[in-house]
Structure 1
Amino acid sequence: MDPFFLYVYRKLKRKCTKELPSCSLCVRLGKTCDYDGAASEMNVDQQVLLDRIRELERQLEAGSGGGTIAEISAFPRQGSSLVNPTYTIHRQGFASNLYFLDPESFGPAGVPATELDPGMPVPEQVRFILGNRAEVETVTESYYDTIDRWFPIVSRKRLVARLTTFEPKTDASVALLLLCMKLVTQILPHDENPRTGLYWICHQFLMQVEGAPLLSLTLLQATALMAIYEIGHGIWPAAILTVGNAVRLGHIMGLHDRDNAHQLFRANSTLTGREEERRTWWGVVVLDRIVTMGTYDGSILTADVRNHELLPCTDSDWDSGNIAPFGHAFASDLTGIQIGHWAQVCQAAHALGCVQRHRVDEGHAKNSRLDEAQQLDRTLVSLAASLLADMKQRGDMAINDPKQTGSRSSVDAIALCCSARFLLYELYACNDGKSNISRVSSFPSGQEAVMQRISLQGINECVNIMHQIALRLLEPQQHSTRQSPESYITYHAGSIFVTHALYWAASECSWIVKEGINAAAARVMGDLVKALHLLNDRWHRAGDYIKLLEREETLSD
């Protein structure tokens, strides 16, 4: 049973003893005794107002008006589980308020972390859901066995150290992170609404921590995990708003530009801490790119990555907690340099962002725009070739015989690269004046013809690559000894990243089938759709793409 409904059920089991003038249970719960047994006709909104009046009266009677402490009672809206959490905020913890007024007054050192903790306790309902230490360990183990395999932003070494001193009643930031870990690792049935009771509890607790405010890197990480859940299950437009919130939090902390932006926090004294900050901000950049992939006129909020920006360290160093002093500097050419899978995802997301900016930027001259498009194509082709070669070398996927199931995978980076190529090629593949590229219909015909040929060829290449990835996903379902596809797909390294590229490849196949260009396109499309069905066992987003294909009548025989 959902923890929220279990909690409510236990509350409702207690009955009024009908004592006069009122029973102790009803007095303690703030209810009115029911002596005739009739159901109360008071609606929820009226009850909330009465509860608020009683709470305010209690505060007026008990408060002495010292002026240094503000008692805040947060009453949730109808349907929420955080019932009447009351907590204390210390005014001396509000250094962040002054920081927003004049960051320069704090100097380059930033604000001490101790001055950013308003002393917010963890609501009882959140503690109930997290459970005891054994249950917390189960949540963290599940997270690091699944989500962390393809979105590694939370340092296991640092989290384990924090959990040794974790106080469930007072450590709100860690409790929020654990709650979001629990949310993002749960597997939902196909027909279940992803807006579950746990989702709403996480959502409200996140807002309460922000409003306290309890600013920290942990808050940013929890926001990113919330965004993953919303993107993966297609909770719109909440996913876009959550990612935008994460971007703004990163900007507030100065993570986007360590050299020039004002820093909210003092510099981390450990290499592991600095690497965790870097990985977290890269995670926000990646989410900012993928959340707007389907929005043709959508704009990204994060700036382009600078050439001297550091990529995350290798996965083996990160997993072991043995962080190298310096990561590899970002550059347009990293040929021959061994980088980790998360760094590959960051590279692909950066390239995707360049295409997204190219798509909405019409300020350049027409010839320059085509030149830029061809340069983007060369960059993406080179990146895709590098990723495929690395995949073969590591034994992650053999293109002709996909039988490997590595714990980490380059599939997600390749899928993002293909999404970027699809996005670019859709601009220039058709020049009949009725497509999305009617804006370029007046380009010189020679240059336009060259880019059109490049685009059509590139679309075919990306469809073939995504078909191989689809076979890679379907192979464990056909030959694995696991009991169910769900048990495998939870560990897949690119679950949330590959769905868009699979959908786009299937959509292109439908066009090829209708045109009668390639008889094998129908079989390829069938494999792509099967892969989406498999991913729907983990993320509802894949099922939404299947519905789009059905709406376009691309699944008709």
Structure 2
Amino acid sequence: MFEPSALDLQQARSQQACVACRNQKRKCDKLLPKCSLCTRTGRACEYASVTPRAPANLEALQTRLSELEDRLGSRTASVAAYHSGNASPAVPVSSMSHSVGSGGAEPGSVRPDSPQAAGQAATTARVPSLLFLDVDRFQDSQLRLLTPTVRIPSDVLAVLSFENTVVDAAAVYFDTIHHWMPFISRKRMDLGIPLRSGGPDLAMLFLAMKLITSSPSPAGPATPPGHDPLYTMAKAFLSLFEANGEVSLLCLQAMVLIALYEYGHAVYPAAWMTVGACTRYADMLRITLGEERSSVMDKVTTWTELEERRRLCWAIFVLDKAIALGNRSRVAAAEPPETAALPADDLAWSEGDALHGMAYPVSASYDLPQGPFARLCQAAMLASRAIATRRRIKLMPQQPGADRVSETSALADDILRFDAILSTATADETSSAAGCAGAYYQTLAPRFLAWSAFFVLLDPYCCPVNIAPGDPGHGAVPEAKTAEEMALQRRSTEIIVTVVAKVHEVVRSISNGMSEEAEQEAAQRRLGKFCPLGLDAVYCIMGLYCWLCQEGGDETVKDRLADVDRFFSGVGERWRLAREYLHLKKYHDDAGQLGVGG
């Protein structure tokens, strides 16, 4: 076998360390084409003269992350040694959550320098069973949840430590997803607050950010979304926290991002289960909407932090309602009381401006000015009411027709008023191809959700004959509809026709914007600002167009159906859910059922 000479080995080395090793300040053997460390970790190895500069507003984040990685490395090693009985932790686990700005230990906790610390270090980070078996005693003991101490898997560390992965993922996240689902404080992130107090749960959050900002594989015979390596890695890491009985606010934020990924890429039934788990998780942390209870976490010290927790609850609420639109099953998140506060002004919160952080109660009139996220929450409440009304009427077919009509009409009036207000706000934003992003997408997100509420509520009443016994609006065949039901049919049809025209206009505008985008990377970034919660409304008009094509074969309707196909194909490059909706078209073509199809 040929053995390379010393000269060959010398020539096969780079004159400088690779980019990954330089960023991590690791010793690099400079082997070509890949150094030994990159070969062992399975990551890409590049030799470049200049390391790409991080965005200016996130340079501090990159620096703090490097410091955090060093701390986590020594901390996990010391904790592992302690558990194995070989050594005492260099930094007591029980002191980690109070290491920054705590002003002393929490009531009921044990001082890290006390004799009891050694005996409790391995257990106090876990969720005490007392919280679930006897909540009164838990509150009396004034216990608090501490920073998780699970070991970060090596594959997670390899992903997060590669080049500028964390900085880039955070930058893309705040430039896209954050526009329409702002529940993670960028101000607190820039100030480094989560970095100073976080542990492995912070790594979990960054991994979830990386996941939600990743695009699916190209269309065709590709890896199923549930088998994507980054997704399975995130789910496995999250399961470690559960297996070790450790929870945190950062973990819940990461779980919401994973649920959003599962929803946006049609990973079922995981999406349905994860959203439900998020509601339980929030309830466990005592941060449910409008309900003041003794928290199990550290006390909130700033308005920005309090608002972040409230927005986290609202994000879960919105997801819970959106995911129930299609199957109209029982929702998991409880309705907020009328005294609960909506999200405050988005700009004030993002800048940490507590003086202008005005938040209206849930019962506030739709006419009052609200930020985009508050509007999205209001739309979710309307969708929730529509789902509940549809379920209640279906489960009680004996309810008098006049009562059904009255209840449905009243809710339709509320949605109409809300949509009219949003329409005015959207008109202030340009709908040109260049403007189909940013603020325009922010105003579209709640409108799409409100339009979905229309389809859920009014779909059964649009059918001209009674073909579905037991469904609201459909009596027992061959009974004719009552006068009230016929009046509601006419009104429902008028509303649906108007809504369909609005949805189609937006669909065509977004599709035109995508086709005019020169660079694929820019198109992906634009689509990242599009809220996938709006895809249900587009699917509803697709069902209507399929029905009308079967009934009359109108060429105009066929052209509009082609617009929907083009829209789903384009958005499917970013959100796999759009591809799934496009695949469902065959069921409408095969079944030929009457109805809107929402």
Q: Taking structure 2 as the reference length, what is the TM-score of the superposition?
A: 0.73
1:433 is paired with a residue whose SS is: coil
Is 1:254 the counterpart of 2:286 in the alignment? yes
CA separation of 1:110/1:516 partners in 2, compared to 1, >3 Å: closer, same or farther? farther
Structure 1 residue corresponding to 2:505, chosen from 468, 477, 484: 468
Quick one: which amino acid aligns to residue 238 of structure 1? A
Contact 1:243/1:284 (CA < 8 Å) preserved in 2?
yes
Matched with 1:434 is 467
1:313 aligns with 2:341: no
Assess, with a 3 A threshold, how the Cα gap between structure 1 residues 293 and 387 changes in structure 2: closer, same or farther.
same
Alpha-carbon distance, 1:453 to partner: 1.2
Mapped contact 1:110–1:265 kept (Cα < 8 A): no
Secondary structure, aligned partner of 1:177: helix
Residue pairs, 1:34-433, within 5 angstroms: 63=85, 90-94=122-126, 96-107=128-139, 111-112=143-144, 115-131=145-161, 134-162=164-192, 165=195, 171-189=199-217, 190-191=219-220, 192-193=222-223, 194=225, 195-296=227-328, 298-323=329-354, 324-331=356-363, 333-335=365-367, 337-361=368-392, 362-363=395-396, 365-366=399-400, 367-393=402-428, 395-397=429-431, 404-408=435-439, 409-430=442-463, 432-433=465-466
AA paired with 1:428?
Answer: Y
Identity of aligned residues (%): 23
In structure 1, what is the Cα distance between the partners aligned to 2:208 and 2:239? 13
**CA drift at 1:355:** 0.7
**Match of 2:484?**
447
The aligned counterpart of 2:574 is 538
From 524, 536, 542, the equivalent of 2:560 is: 524
The answer to whether the 8 A contact 2:514-2:523 is kept is no
**1:75 alignment counterpart:** none
Q: d(CA) in 2 for partners of 1:444 and 1:347?
A: 33
* Cα distance change, pair 534–65 in 1 and its aligned pair in 2 (3 A): closer
Cα distance change of structure 1 residues 467 and 286 upon mapping to structure 2, 3 Å threshold: same
1:431-457, Cα deviation, whole Å (9 max, x unpaired) = 633237545445970111121112211
Distance 1:290 1:234 in 2: 13
Greater CA drift, 115-124 or 198-207: 115-124
Verify the 8 A CA contact 2:341 2:359 in the aligned structure 1: yes
Cα distance in 2 for partners of 1:154, 1:270 equals 15
The range that moved more, 221-230 or 453-462, is 453-462
Query: Against the structure 1 CA distance between its residues 165 and 225, is the aligned structure 2 distance closer, same or farther, given a 3 Å change threshold?
Result: closer
Q: What is the alpha-carbon distance in structure 2 between the residues aligned to residue 126 and residue 342 of structure 1? A: 31
SS of 2:410's equivalent in the other structure is helix
Residues 150 and 240 in structure 2, CA contact (< 8 A), matched pair in contact too: no
d(CA) in 2 for partners of 1:304 and 1:524? Answer: 37
CA contact (8 A) 2:433 2:516 kept: no
Superposition deviation, residue 181 in structure 1: 0.5
Change beyond 3 A, Cα 1:410–1:396: farther
Question: 1:384 touches 1:414 (CA, 8 Å); kept in 2?
Answer: yes
- Name the CA distance, whole Å, in 2 between partners of 1:524 and 1:349: 27
Deviation at 1:402, TM superposition (A): 6.0
Q: Say whether the 8 Å CA contact 1:486–1:537 is kept in structure 2.
A: no
After the TM superposition, list the runs of 4 or more consecutive aligned residues in structure 1 that deviate by more than 6 angstroms: 6-9
Residue 335 of structure 2 aligns to a residue in which SS?
A: coil
Give the 3-state SS of the residue equivalent to 2:181 in structure 1.
coil
Counterparts of 1:233 and 1:488, CA distance in 2: 17
Instruction: Tell me the distance in 1 between the aligned counterparts of 2:343 and 2:215.
Output: 29
- Residues 133 and 64 of structure 1: is their aligned pair in 2 closer, same or farther, counting only changes over 3 Å? closer
Q: Secondary structure at the match of 2:164?
A: helix
CA distances 1:442-483 after superposition (whole Å, capped 9, x unpaired): 597011112111221121111101111102211212434445
User: What secondary structure, in the 3-state scheme, does the structure 2 residue paired with 1:236 have?
Assistant: coil
Distance change >3 Å, CA 207–CA 117, structure 1 → 2 = same
Structure 2 distance, partners of 1:436, 1:302, is 30
Change (3 A) 1:209 1:218: same
Which SS does the other structure have where 1:220 is aligned?
helix
Contact between 2:204 and 2:238, CA under 8 Å: does it hold in 1? Answer: yes
Shift of 1:317: 1.6
Count of matched residue pairs: 478
CA contact (8 A) 1:427 1:436 kept: no
Q: 1:127 to 1:64 in 2, by over 3 A?
A: closer
Query: Aligned-pair distance for 1:532?
Result: 1.0
Q: Describe the shift of the 1:446–1:420 C-alpha distance in structure 2 as closer, same or farther (beyond 3 A).
A: same
CA positional deviation for 1:111: 3.9
Instruction: Indicate whether 1:550 and 2:578 are aligned.
Output: no
Unaligned runs of 5+ in 2: 1-19, 21-35, 44-79, 94-119, 593-598
Amino acid at match of 1:90: A
Structure 1 position 487 matched with structure 2 position 515: no
Q: Deviations over 1:119-175 (max 9, x none)?
A: 3232222111101683321111111111111111110122233478459xx811100
Q: Secondary structure at the match of 1:90?
A: coil
Letter paired with 2:322: I
Q: Cα RMSD between the aligned structures? A: 3.4
Cα separation, partners in 2 of 1:276 and 1:308, compared to 1, 3 Å: same
Q: Provide the rounded CA distance (Å) in 1 between the counterparts of 2:248 and 2:84.
A: 33
Normalised to the residue count of structure 1, the TM-score between the two structures is: 0.78
Contact 1:166 1:174 in 2 (8 A): no
Cα separation, partners in 2 of 1:490 and 1:214, compared to 1, 3 Å: farther
**Contact 1:90–1:119 (Cα < 8 Å) also in 2:** no
Q: Which amino acid aligns with 1:450?
A: A
- Alpha-carbon distance between aligned partners in 1 of 2:330 and 2:309, rounded to the nearest angstrom: 24
Change (3 A) 1:491 1:354: same
